[in-house]
Amino acid sequence: MTDDKQQRKLSRRELLSLIGTAGGTVLTGWYLSQNQPSRQEPPTEERPTSVEPSNPPQFRGPPDGTESIADHGGTVGVDTPEAAEENVAAIHRASTAADTSTVYLPPGKWYVGKRDEPEFLNPGKAGAELGAAGLGFVGEGPDLTFLVFQKDTLEQGGGNEISYVGGTDHGDVVWRDLTYDGNYQNMAFDSGTRQWGIDIEGDTTANFTLQNFRLLNIQALGLTASGSSDFRLTVDQSTFRNIGIGRVNQADGSALGHALGPTVPAGRRLTVTNSRFELISGNVIDFSRSDGFGSALIQNCFATGIGDTFIKEKGMQEVHLSNVFYQAHTPELESAMNQGAIEQERHGRGFLKQISGPGNGTTYVLENVEARNMLRRAVNLRNGKHWRLRGGRNGPIRIRNVNMNGSDESYVWRESTDPQSYFEFDIGTMITDGVQGLVFDCPSSRGVVDTLYQQHTSGIGSTGRIEIGSQHQRAAPMEPNVPSRNAVGINPLPVSDRRQLRTK
């Protein structure tokens, strides 16, 4: 790498700090139509329907520091393997030429894929011409710019994954103002094939940001990241929809797919803000793929139609949930799954779960959180594990409609039968409503709950050494402050005038 190119790469670290103020021309005549799913056909994300606008929108074109795919041989709107491979080549040329390794995608559908590569984009792979290290994308908004996987490339032997090469410094990577559509519902998967959306391999150095970004129609896993001690992931104002439905149906409920599967190294933080998650067969966030022991901030988010849990982990330092709405079971999720998945109760199990692993003693801080409509238990610990539970003082914790399947033993808070498994509570206000079972199964737990409101439950259960300051058998006079569906997720308009993406 030349000194000049090295300087370009280093200067890309300013990319995120140079985002300008919000702007853009109001677009008219573009809207989304909602597909109605059937049990046989998983639901798909709302699709754009173009209508000739009375005042055609004015597009900004490529921001400074980026290169347009159109200027490097890309072809828009052609759904063939040949066009998809030409677009991959154009992305490589544009990302190599761009000071920020960021490719601008004009409005339209840009089909991508490779018939002879396991990963059709493999940024940073030497000699592969599948994207420069640090490859990123910006568009004109997620309702206008689409990167779409071309279905026939898979059937002709190609891979269906975007994979960032590990052991590489990718610098600042930005995916913003576009939709990536995995298009899985139009493909046939054999039993040994699955689709990942974006994979970030191990020992990767990167500051990875998804902003005003939509990921949809991924057969198995949305975004996975092994990362390293110098890896950061930030998700803001983004929407994840229809992730892992194909996988759970393919496996009749024995395998799941997750929206986010990151490793968060010690001393690092995952940040997810202002985002929406819908129709996920597994977990919204799965921290169980490897041992991270970092922290996470999940703030102002909305999740609905989640098959397993909101969070699954086997070792984190601290997880902070603030202004979060979570609904596990929905009729739409159930209608998307086949009978095998439903028999495995993959259509809305629980809320928080720890699995076996080396981690222990995770601190959960919950402020203004509502979790509802769970088929089984809400919060579940594994043998020998313990959690510190904080919050409920700057906004209540409300858990309602637990054990909707009516199993014999179900609880809101459940430690395992191992006496070394326990919760340590330090909670202000907790609200439980509609539990076909007991609130606590916590004989070894301890701590304080200042105020507990409960109604429509089978009783308080086993509280161990938990001190409850005041207990009320009635509805609570307050509710958590959580976002509505339309208050979070993608915005049809770009978030900023991205001409600020220039280097020194």
Domain ranges of the chain: 120-492
**51: number of Cβ within 10 Å:** 9
Burial profile 345-371: b = 16 or more Cβ within 10 angstroms, e = fewer? bbbbbbbbbbbeeebeebbbbbbbbbb
Query: To the nearest whole percent, how much of the chain has pLDDT over 90?
Result: 68
Q: pLDDT tens digits, residue range 336-366?
A: 999 999 998 999 999 999 887 766 789 999 9
Nearest C-alpha neighbor of 490 from the set 260, 102, 106, 177: 177
> What is the predicted pLDDT for the residue at 55?
57
Locus of tokens 């940024």: 123
CB 148 within 8 A of CB 105: no
> What is the predicted pLDDT for the residue at 410?
81
Nearest C-alpha neighbor of 65 from the set 98, 16, 90: 98
- Distance between CA atoms of 174 and 247, rounded to whole angstroms? 27
- Distance between CA atoms of 169 and 160, rounded to whole angstroms? 23
Q: What 8-state DSSP symbol labels residue 267?
A: T
**53: number of Cβ within 10 Å:** 11
Q: pLDDT tens digits, residue range 290-328?
A: 566 899 999 999 999 999 999 999 889 999 999 999 999
State the average pLDDT for the chain.
86
Query: How far from 51 is each of 34, 55, 214, 378, CA to CA, in Å?
Result: 16, 11, 21, 45
Radius of gyration of the chain (CA): 23
> What is the predicted pLDDT for the residue at 284?
98
Q: What 8-state DSSP symbol labels residue 419?
A: T
Element (H, E) at 86: helix 81-97
- Distance between CA atoms of 481 and 325, rounded to whole angstroms? 9
- Distance between CA atoms of 156 and 437, rounded to whole angstroms? 52
Q: What 8-state DSSP symbol labels residue 408?
A: S
Query: How far from 318 is each of 24, 59, 277, 292, CA to CA, in Å?
Result: 38, 42, 22, 11
Confidence of residue 237 (pLDDT cuts 50, 70, 90): very high
Q: Beta strands 66-68 and 102-104: pairing type? A: parallel
> What is the predicted pLDDT for the residue at 47?
41
Q: Beta strands 66-68 and 461-462: pairing type? A: unpaired
Query: How far from 241 is each of 129, 271, 377, CA to CA, in Å?
Result: 30, 19, 24
Alpha-carbon dihedral angle through residues 378, 382, 388, 389, given to the nearest 10 degrees: 0
Q: pLDDT tens digits, residue range 238-275?
A: 999 999 999 999 999 999 999 999 988 888 899 999 99
- Distance between CA atoms of 111 and 154, rounded to whole angstroms? 13
Residue 30 above 70 pLDDT?
no
Residue 27 above 90 pLDDT?
no
Position 128, amino acid: A
Q: Beta strands 411-414 and 438-441: pairing type? A: parallel
> What is the predicted pLDDT for the residue at 504?
27
Q: pLDDT tens digits, residue range 273-298?
A: 999 999 999 999 999 765 668 999 99
Confidence of residue 465 (pLDDT cuts 50, 70, 90): very high
> What is the predicted pLDDT for the residue at 191?
74
Nearest C-alpha neighbor of 451 from the set 400, 410, 395: 395
> What is the predicted pLDDT for the residue at 147?
98
> What is the predicted pLDDT for the residue at 56?
54
Residue 10 above 80 pLDDT?
no
- Distance between CA atoms of 471 and 222, rounded to whole angstroms? 42
Residue 401 above 50 pLDDT?
yes
Confidence of residue 334 (pLDDT cuts 50, 70, 90): very high
Query: How far from 217 is each of 27, 84, 175, 186, 221, CA to CA, in Å?
Result: 25, 18, 17, 10, 10
> What is the predicted pLDDT for the residue at 34?
27
| Over residues 158-164, mean pLDDT | 87
CA torsion through residues 199, 201, 203, 205, sign? negative
Confidence of residue 114 (pLDDT cuts 50, 70, 90): very high
User: Does the 120-492 domain belong in CATH 3.20.20?
Assistant: no
Cβ-proximal residues to 236 (8 Å cutoff; 6+ apart), any chain: 209, 210, 211, 212, 271, 272, 273, 274, 275
Residues in the chain: 504
Q: What is the largest CA-CA distance in the chain?
A: 71
Instruction: Look at 423 and 418; give whichever has higher pLDDT.
Output: 423
Quick one: tokens of 305?
């139609």
Residue 229 above 80 pLDDT?
no
> What is the predicted pLDDT for the residue at 314?
83
Residues β-bridged to residue 149: 112
φ, ψ at 71 (rounded to 5°): -80, -5
Measure CA of the first residue to CA of the last residue in the chain; give whole Å: 18
- Distance between CA atoms of 343 and 102, rounded to whole angstroms? 45
Residue 409 above 90 pLDDT?
no
Cβ-proximal residues to 435 (8 Å cutoff; 6+ apart), any chain: 399, 400, 401, 402, 403, 410, 411, 412, 454, 456, 457, 458
Nearest C-alpha neighbor of 105 from the set 136, 127, 149, 78: 136
Confidence of residue 496 (pLDDT cuts 50, 70, 90): low
Q: pLDDT tens digits, residue range 117-145?
A: 889 999 999 999 999 999 999 999 999 99
CB 409 within 8 A of CB 417: no
